[in-house]
Amino acid sequence: MPEHHPPIARLRSLRSVALRTTHCAESAEFYHEVWGLRPVEQEHGATWLRGTGPEHHVLQLQQAAQNALGKIVFSVATPAEVDEAARRLDAHGIALVTEPGKLDQVGGGYGLRFGDPEGRLVELTADVEAVVPDDPDGHPAVPRKLAHVVLNTADIDTVCEFYTRVLGMRVSDWSEHQMAFLRCNSDHHVIAFNQAPFPSVNHVAYEMPSIDHFMRGIGRLRHHGITPLWGPGRHGPGNNTFSYFADPGGLVCEYTSEVEQVVEDAWLCRVWRRTPELSDLWGTAGPPSKDVRTHMAGVPDPGYTAWWYG
Ligand SMILES: [Fe+2]
């Protein structure tokens, strides 16, 4: 029997995601002018953007030679939990990329970093700088926060095992043996993994405060001449609304709302068959087109070691 070690931390939320993009300036303009995020910081080749919620930023864009994941950032409650996570990572035999300490980056905070089995950079943070919530339930049809990130994986069982055993996440549902939806709080999923030929970013979803905001957001994009790659519709797993678009760099972004709320002790994981009526509950979206599937497949992500130590 392998020695059992507890998960490294109790993750509270998905704070933000960093994306490496071939079109940083154009994408920063898109996420600000069209998508509805607001820049909090900008420097040559990088932009940090926030939603209307209390997170300092939800998206970091960085100019790069190819599209890739920069990092995924989870919150823990306290710096002491970051320190404890470092000890537990060691017990799991996982090397730290960044030792626990004050983070010299936009938004500050106290954190650490490590890599997952497919070379994704994971950051845990506490004590990040506060910003004033910008009327999260207000009238403008703009995102409140990050809803989830879907990541393509070449080995769904290995990554699910890692994110559940090491990071303490729970599998909320499976879509056959093709997708796994993982939660760390009451949201049905903050991460989903999709079995694919290679690891890459599938898409990033942003939460709208209501279905009305969701539809008005789609309307605003239409006024900018941008129509959904897929949607609007409502997914079976998670019961959330969806509408997918491509950003100027070709990365897929999604507006979503009304994601199912999980009661931890009552939830039972299900396996959803991949039928049209279960994937698209309203029957409005139809099957995903070749175009959206190509965008969601992305390009093979070489992992953080390809650029972190460069
Ligand atoms: Fe999604």
Average pLDDT over residues 156-170: 98
CA-to-CA separations, 52 to 40, 49, 220, 241, 260, in angstroms, rounded = 12, 10, 17, 19, 21
Which range has the worst mean pLDDT, 2-6, 122-126, 247-251, 304-308? 2-6
CA of 147 to the centre of ligand 1 (A): 8
CA of 78 to the centre of ligand 1 (A): 29
- Local structure of 288: helix, strand or coil: coil
Phi/psi of residue 306, nearest 5 degrees: -70, -25
- Local structure of 301: helix, strand or coil: coil
Q: What mean pLDDT, rounded, does the chain reach? A: 97
In the prediction, which pLDDT does 22 show?
Answer: 98
For residues 98 and 45, give the distance between their C-alpha atoms in angstroms, rounded to a whole number.
23
User: Is it the case that residue 91 has pLDDT exceeding 80?
Assistant: yes
For residues 169 and 186, give the distance between their C-alpha atoms in angstroms, rounded to a whole number.
11
Indicate the pLDDT class of residue 82, thresholds 50, 70 and 90.
very high
CA of 243 to the centre of ligand 1 (A): 8
Of residues 94, 131, 130, 129, the one with CA closest to residue 112: 94
Average pLDDT over residues 149-153: 98
CA of 71 to the centre of ligand 1 (A): 18
Residue with tokens 């994941």: 69
Indicate the pLDDT class of residue 38, thresholds 50, 70 and 90.
very high
Average pLDDT over residues 204-228: 98
- The H or E element that residue 98 is part of is strand 96-102
CA of 168 to the centre of ligand 1 (A): 21
Average pLDDT over residues 130-150: 95
Instruction: For residue range 179-188, list pLDDT tens digits in order.
Output: 999 999 999 9
The structural domains of the chain, ordered by start, are 13-126 (3.10.180.10), 145-297 (3.10.180.10)
CA-to-CA separations, 255 to 1, 36, 152, in angstroms, rounded = 44, 11, 19
User: Is it the case that residue 1 has pLDDT exceeding 80?
Assistant: no
User: Is it the case that residue 310 has pLDDT exceeding 70?
Assistant: no
CA of 268 to the centre of ligand 1 (A): 21
Indicate the pLDDT class of residue 44, thresholds 50, 70 and 90.
confident
Average pLDDT over residues 191-219: 98
Q: What is the DSSP letter of 274?
A: -
pTM above 0.85, yes or no: yes
Q: What is the DSSP letter of 232?
A: E
CA of 238 to the centre of ligand 1 (A): 9
CA of 10 to the centre of ligand 1 (A): 23
Q: Which residues pair with 148 in a beta bridge?
A: 205
> Per the structure block, which two tokens stand in for 155?
């080995």
Average pLDDT over residues 1-30: 93
User: Is it the case that residue 3 has pLDDT exceeding 90?
Assistant: no
For residues 95 and 85, give the distance between their C-alpha atoms in angstroms, rounded to a whole number.
12
CA of 204 to the centre of ligand 1 (A): 7
For residues 227 and 134, give the distance between their C-alpha atoms in angstroms, rounded to a whole number.
27
User: Is it the case that residue 116 has pLDDT exceeding 70?
Assistant: yes
Residue 2, burial from CB neighbour count under 10 angstroms (0-12, 13-18, 19+): exposed
